[in-house]
Amino acid sequence: MPIQNLTTTEPWAWWLGDQATLAGDDDAIREHLRRITRPVFVVERDGALFVTHDGGCIPAATLGNHPGALKLRGILPPVALERLGDASFCADLGIRYPYICGSMAHGISSPAIAEALGKAGMLGFIGAAGQSPQNVEAAIDRMQSLQPAVPFGFNLIHSPNEPDLEAAIADLYLRRGIRLVEASAYLNVTLPLVKYRVSGIRREADGQIVTPNRVIGKISRVEVAAKFFAPPPAKLLQELVNRGDITPEQAELAAQIPIAQDLTAEADSGGHTDNRPAVTLLPTIIALRDQFQAQYRYPMPLRVGMGGGIATPASAAAALAMGAAYLVTGSVNQACIESGTSDAARRMLCQAGQADTAMAPAGDMFEMGVTVQVLKRGTMFAMRAAKLYEIFKANAGLHTIPAADRENLEKNVFKDTLENVWASTREFFLRRDPAQAERADRDPKHLMALVFRWYLGLSPRWAVTGDPARTVDYQIWCGPAMGAFNEWAKGSFFEQQANRRVVDVAHNLLFGAAVTGRAAALRAQGVPLPQQVTQTPPLPVDNIASYIQ
């Protein structure tokens, strides 16, 4: 039956059109909301509200008595998915939709994800953290060989314990012409990051400064965001000049650009996270953006996107309503068939609830006490990793670990003697970073840290490869968004893991956000919509296509 009109005020406008097109039942209202590329008029007739796509409206002040006019109670303009965020962001990156798959380490955000999203007019970042330069270069080969070419990017992660590796990856990107990176886990701006950003900078004949390399920063702290929005530190620019990496003229140009044109405000996400609430973090970073834009007057305005917790139409719509220039998803992509992890890990992710996560010590920043958010359900990794850090803090080296703790570590965690683990770990670092092994030979505490990082470093690999003997030790980076997505997916085709594809997920989140936003706009105009007509369950992409044509 038609919506009951709760509005008693005089209308601000009148609707004129064919009354035969008016509809008021729940199914019709739902269909009108979903046909996002068409306008919707909500009109009053005989005390009830109806919807239609047709007709037009005239301001009440300009229309006299007209026998066919009906009171206009609400209006929705057409919506294009391409315009949900900041159109300039899409134009600059050469994509159609303001949607990004954020990078996940060990290649979990895989070339297959980036290729699928790129073909669909979106963007995927390939996870390079934890990968050798050789594996990263193989992924570069694959992406650069695609015909036709698609937009894509690679991750550049801050590696305080392996600064040479961070520099090697940055140099690899420069050598291979990778023009877009997602910089993540940074606590401070580093020389490799600045070198990547400013290499090749020049001034065109028209005076415009051109920077071939673009950085999208992923941050969760105001003090770090401020460093990304500011120009590169003068000290680091001078060091690059002294090394011959850039000229003095390029250093002068670099002092006029931000480290990152775009920043992703990363809320409660999987992996490295400060568990910040999105509703406070995003507005804060947007305000900081405005402050830095006013201070530096960059020719191309700064932009802020939103990641962490984006897993349902409601969360996507909320981020866009708060001013996000683009959306970034992470955990939900890990459960899709294109991700670079195992079927075993995907099945565990598909069973997760919002409370099935925990914080655990991070392998790359173990000694600093930095933590990452991981899946708790079905694995003992978080508990065992926390015990490793507890033992590390309490002991000067492996030789001081109490016998009971040592026995538990060797039997349940390492499944080998600590001496054997150190032998294999030392051999690894002699190949990868000899300075680490040399330091460990002098410092028992550092030796212990490297042994414990053996477990922290291999646990995500066991998940990626699906090692059945190590299921309880899987380290699977995951935020509450995964549980929210699973709850939304119940009863739909997404409930089955085999049906989860990154492009289908992306289209559903974007389309659902548009529908959710339209419903909110009508409520703000005083139109009382039944709850059942505003819900946006997952739909096959063909169905979505029929609504946006």
- Spatial contact of 484 and 268, defined as CB atoms under 8 Å apart: no
Pairing of strands 123-126, 327-329: unpaired
Task: Look up the pTM and report it.
Answer: 0.93
Query: What is the mean pLDDT of the segment spanning 170-180?
Result: 97
The pLDDT score that the predictor gives to residue 1 is 43
Q: How far is CA 225 from the centre of its chain?
A: 16
Pairing of strands 123-126, 99-101: parallel
Which tokens belong to 273?
A: 């996270």
Q: Show the domains of the chain with their CATH numbers.
A: 1-78 (no CATH), 94-348 (3.20.20.70), 380-475 (no CATH)
Res. 8 pLDDT band, cuts 50 70 90:
low
- Spatial contact of 57 and 72, defined as CB atoms under 8 Å apart: yes
**Interval 386-434: pLDDT, tens:** 999 999 999 999 999 999 999 999 999 999 999 999 999 999 999 888 9
Write the DSSP string, 275-344.
---HHHHHHHHHHHHHHHHHHH--SS--EEEEESS--SHHHHHHHHHTT-SSEEE-HHHHTSTTSSS-HH
- Spatial contact of 347 and 361, defined as CB atoms under 8 Å apart: no
Q: Determine which of 1-10, 100-109, 198-207, 279-288 has the lowest per-residue pLDDT on average.
A: 1-10
Classify 526 in phi/psi space as left (phi over 0), alpha (psi -120 to 50) or beta.
left
The pLDDT score that the predictor gives to residue 64 is 64
Q: Determine which of 1-5, 316-320, 485-489, 491-495 has the lowest per-residue pLDDT on average.
A: 1-5
Q: Which helix (H) or strand (E) holds 214?
A: strand 214-219
In a 3-state reduction of DSSP, which class is residue 230?
coil
Write the DSSP string, 409-426.
IIIIISSS-HHHHHHHHH
Burial profile 81-110: b = 16 or more Cβ within 10 angstroms, e = fewer: beebbbeebbeebebebbbbbbbbbbbbbb
How far apart CA 9 and CA 470 sit, in angstroms, is 67
